[in-house]
Amino acid sequence: MSAKAGRVLIIASFVALALGAAAVIGVDLVRRDQPANAQPGQGRGGDPQGRVRQPRSLDGLYLSARVAEQARDYEGGLAQAELALRRAPDDPYVQLLTFRLRLLAGKISAAAELAPKVIAMSSVDGMPGANDGLPNLTLAVMAIRKGDFKAAEPYVAKLGDDASTGLMRPIIEAWLKVGQKDFAAARGRLEAARPDDEVLMGLFRIYDGLFEEAAGDRDAAERKLREVVKQDEVAPLRTVLALAGVLRRAGKTSEARDLLRKYGEANADAVVMDNLVRNDSLPRQPTPADVIADVLLDIGSAIAGAQRENAGDLALVFVWLALELSPTSDNAHLVAADLLESGDLPDKAIVQLNAVDAASPLQWRARMKAAALLADTGKTEESIKALQAMVSERPERIDAAAALGDLLRSKERYAEAVKAYDTAVTRLRNVEDRHWALFYARGIALERIKDWPRAEADFRRALSMVPPDDEGKRRSRGFVLNYLGYSWIDQGINLDEGLKLLTEAVELVPNDGAITDSLGWAYYRLGQYERAVTLLEKAIQLKADDATIVEHLGDAYWHVGRQREARFQWERALRQKPEPDRVDPLNRKLAEGLTRELDQPTVTKPPAADTAPAEKPAEKK
């Protein structure tokens, strides 16, 4: 197992404490009917009869904040909670809600102001949602940010025992000691975090190597970080950057450049290393706050992948805590963007992506992601301009051109999409099997502009890149087989081979309703209506909400004499938001039946047993 896999296992051990604190974030608080200091019969608005005397009651503000929180409108919810807090500054429920929303909105220093009160709540019986894990961690982060590492120690000590915190507490405690120049004590805490299993040593060696440099032994730091890079087949970027930094600070600039250049060449799809390779300035040595921020970010990333309710919210809090300590952390900005996007907050995700430093090897990835989010939010032209600029900026790369093609194709601007795909294809130095999707996508765009010879060539080429014996590409091969096979059938050419391709596609991806529909519709076009019905009924079971499949089944029913069921399916298709150009034909089918004008003609004379008239008389009611 690689060090990367070991790192995942270590991070998983961090999650116990974090999820133990989830009550502060994830619990759906149930308000008591009355505040602790309320007199009998007194409502939240202060009226003895329970009437609201002000335009907005405390309950109204509280509930509005909770609704906004559930919708992940953290800033909107916080605005309501702050109003409630001003009206009832001693209400523990309002304090807890405001603390939580301040954390979720990334207002860490403001959350720290309420943290002592939330800590006090954790010892109160019957107070739901209170927990002292995150409040103590918040106070520790604020102390670390101020450089007061000693003041942070008591808060970290309260995070829990080693069994519940895994490696989290001793590693943070070690770096608090580094911040105080107490390297002997720091070494002791690191040793307490040393894993027994050699597989788990990868992440430990990163922290250990950085500690050696902080303690003044760059040779030891270099040796330990080299070991991590050597043992991990795909070394994480953070390790490579850490080693390159140590090398440069040790005066080994040429070796550092070599390391970065080789990593960039091996991972060209994910990073752009040029700026780092060319940069002659001496990189800043990581501070204790930077390292602790990385620990918090690792925890947040691990929580984000946990299959647990509110995991995304809790993960976001850890990322905000990390950014409070290390505001320029590119990794943290990217993780925050992912979490905000998954929380349906694309505009805020774009803000985080734009915060990634221009010299960062991750900046290209951030810009690609930001362009995609612009398109998702309806800002298509902005997205196109951003991608066009990237295409021009890096003439050696294909990703921006391919993404531009995908965007234009999704907007049905097929001719423009073809040009973008052409740019990407011409930039391919070595065509590899992993580029199959580029040819497949261009083939679709070419087919839509009716340039079938080029489209067919692209589909055939994509098919050759996803061979039948590659288990990992079963779905990919199925998609290409489906498009090429159906296109042949639809044009009335290569009928036998087209059916063969579609049959193989269904075998490869048996649970895809769209592919099963293609085979069923192919039999329909061949006039084999009974076979078509069987396959289309299966397709509709797999994908019941697809208006096209539903309409196809209705047409097939009509041909086998099941007119009542055909009309039922057409009515159903109309309710499922069909493509605009299908609305009128569906209405006409309901009114007139499947006339020859509305039907799709067969592409070859069907066998006698399967022959059915294109037009049947309307069924008597």
Lowest mean pLDDT among 19-28, 76-85, 88-97, 202-211: 19-28
Q: How many CA atoms lie within 13 A of 572 on its CB side?
A: 19
Residue 512 clears pLDDT 60, i.e. is over it: yes
Asked if residue 22 has pLDDT above 80, the reply is no
Cα–Cα distance between 177 and 193 in angstroms, integer?
14
Query: Which tops the pLDDT comparison, 32 or 25?
Result: 25
CA distance 300 to 342: 14
- Closest among 475, 423, 418, 474 to 448, alpha carbons compared: 418
CA–CA distance, 56 with 346 (Å, rounded to integer): 31
Assign residue 126 a region: left if phi > 0, alpha if psi is -120 to 50, beta otherwise? Answer: left
Q: What is the pLDDT of residue 252?
A: 95
DSSP string, 37-94: TPPTT--TTS-TTS---SSS-HHHHHHHHHHHHHTT-HHHHHHHHHHHHHH-TT-HHH
Q: What is the largest CA-CA distance in the chain?
A: 94
The SS3 assignment for 257 reads helix
CB 529 within 8 A of CB 545: no
Give residue-wise pLDDT tens across range 390-404: 999 999 999 999 999
Q: Kindly give the interhelix angle for 168-179 and 133-145, rounded to the nearest 10 degrees.
A: 20
- Give the pLDDT of residue 234: 57
**Alpha carbon distance 234, 346 (integer Å):** 31
Give the whole-angstrom CA distance, residue 314 versus residue 303.
7
pLDDT at 15: 44
Residue 505: in which H helix or E strand, if any?
helix 495-508
Nearest Cα to 144, choosing from 324, 317, 18, 318?
324
Identify the band that residue 36 occupies on the pLDDT scale cut at 50, 70 and 90: very low
Inter-residue contact 434 to 441 (CB < 8 Å):
no
Please provide residue 280's backbone torsions phi and psi, each rounded to the nearest 5 degrees: -95, -5
Least confident of 31-40, 205-214, 564-573, 603-612: 31-40
Q: Using 50, 70 and 90 to split pLDDT, how confident is the model at 3?
A: very low
Report residue 354 as tokens: 């734009």
Q: Which residues of 607-618 are buried (b: 16+ CB within 10 A; e: fewer)?
A: eeebebebebee
d(CA 297, CA 337): 13
Are 456 and 493 in contact by the 8 Å Cβ rule? The answer is no
Q: How confident is the model at residue 161 (pLDDT cuts 50, 70, 90)?
A: low
Q: Tell which residue, 561, 554, 558, 542, has the closest CA to residue 582.
A: 554
Rounded CA Rg of the chain: 31
Contact indicator for 106, 323 with CB cutoff of 8 Å: yes
The pLDDT value recorded for residue 131 is 67
More confident residue, 153 or 35: 153
The pLDDT-based confidence of 204 (bands split at 50, 70, 90) is confident
Q: Is 163's pLDDT higher than 70?
A: no
Half-sphere exposure of 284 (CA within 13 A, CB side): 9
Q: What is the pLDDT of residues 412-465, one digit of tens each?
A: 999 999 999 999 999 999 999 999 999 999 999 999 999 999 999 999 999 999
The closest alpha carbon to 552, from 519, 508, 505, belongs to 519
Q: Are 445 and 405 in contact, with CB atoms under 8 Å apart?
A: yes
Average pLDDT, the chain: 86
pLDDT band, very low/low/confident/very high, at 621 (cuts 50, 70, 90): very low
Q: Report the pLDDT value the prediction gives residue 9, as an integer from 0 to 100.
A: 39
Which string of DSSP letters, residue by residue, matches 364-430? Answer: HHHHHHHHHHHHHTT-HHHHHHHHHHHHHH-TT--HHHHHHHHHHHHTT-HHHHHHHHHHHHHT-SS
pLDDT of residue 305: 79
Using DSSP's 3-state secondary structure scheme, residue 457 falls into helix
Residue pair 27/129 in contact by the 8 Å Cβ criterion: yes
Contact criterion met (CB below 8 Å) for 306 and 314 = no
Q: What is the mean pLDDT of residues 376-386?
A: 97
d(CA 460, CA 420): 20
Around 469, how many Cα atoms within 13 Å sit in the side-chain half-sphere?
0
**pLDDT confidence bin for 10, thresholds 50/70/90:** very low
- How many whole angstroms separate alpha carbon 524 and alpha carbon 536? 10
Query: Tokens 């489209």 identify what position?
Result: 455
Helices 183-193 and 168-179, packing angle to 10 deg = 170
Task: Tally DSSP H helices, then E strands, for the chain.
Answer: 33, 0
* Cα dihedral 525, 531, 537, 538 sign: negative
Residue, of 221 and 37, whose pLDDT is higher: 221
Question: Phi and psi at residue 396, in whole multiples of 5°?
Answer: -90, -10
Structure tokens at 385: 């301009």
Residue 200: what pLDDT? 63
Looking at residue 607, its pLDDT comes to 47
Q: What percentage of the chain carries pLDDT values higher than 70?
A: 84
pLDDT at 230: 83
Q: What separation, in Å, do the N-terminal and C-terminal C-alpha atoms of the chain show?
A: 69
Say if residues 538 and 516 touch (Cβ distance below 8 Å): yes
Q: Which helix (H) or strand (E) holds 558?
A: helix 547-559
Q: Which of 52-61, 149-158, 225-234, 600-609 has the lowest mean pLDDT?
A: 600-609
72 or 25, greater pLDDT: 72
Helix, strand, coil percentages for the chain (3-state, nearest 5): 70, 0, 30
Give the DSSP letter of residue 356.
S
- Which pLDDT does position 312 carry in this prediction? 85
Q: What angle do CA 508, 509, 512 make, to 5 degrees?
A: 165
**Residues 420, 409: Cα–Cα separation, whole Å:** 10
